[in-house]
Amino acid sequence: MAQISITVNGKARRGNVDPRLLLAHFLREHLRLTGTHIGCDTTQCGACTVLVDGRSAKSCTIFAVQADGSAVTTIEGLAPDGQLHPLQQGFWKSTGCSAGTARPA
C-alpha cells in the first residue's frame, strides 16, 4: 500500500491505496465523489475527466499515486456556491444534462 495526500475540491484528503489504483476509482470508491465516471474503458469518452493542478486529465489513465501532492478538481468542485460553472452551463444548454448538479428551477 502507498499513502497519498491529494487536495480534492479544495479539501486535503489522504488515503492508503494499492499503487495500481486508478485516480477515477480513488475518487469514486474512497472519496464517494461519483460525478467522475468511467464510461468507455478505452480512454476515449472523457467521462472521467478531472482537473489535476489546473489541467484536464482523464482520471482513468492516471494512478492515484501519480496524483500525490496534486490539487484535483472534480465536477462536484466546479460549483461550490450552488451556481453552475460555465462548463456545466454548456452541458446543460447543449444536452439538457446538468453535469453533476441539479438543474436550476
pLDDT of residue 105: 45
Transcribe 3-62 into DSSP letters: EEEEEETTEEEEEEE-TT-BHHHIIIIIS--TTS---SSSS-S-TTEEEETTEEEETTSS
Q: Which CATH number goes with the domain that contains 30? A: 3.10.20.30
Question: Along the 105 residues of the chain, how does pLDDT read in single tens digits?
Answer: 999 999 999 999 999 999 999 999 999 999 999 988 888 878 888 888 999 999 999 999 999 999 999 999 998 898 767 777 777 777 677 765 544 445 444
Q: Please indicate, yes or no, if residue 101 is contained in any of the structural domains.
A: no
Using a cut of 0.95, tell me whether the model's pTM lies above it.
no
**Number of compact structural domains in the chain:** 1
C-alpha cell of residue 40: 468507455
In a domain, 91, yes or no: no
- Residue 27: give the domain boundaries: 2-73
Is residue 87 in some structural domain? no
> Phi-psi region for residue 6, left (φ > 0), alpha (ψ -120 to 50) or beta?
beta
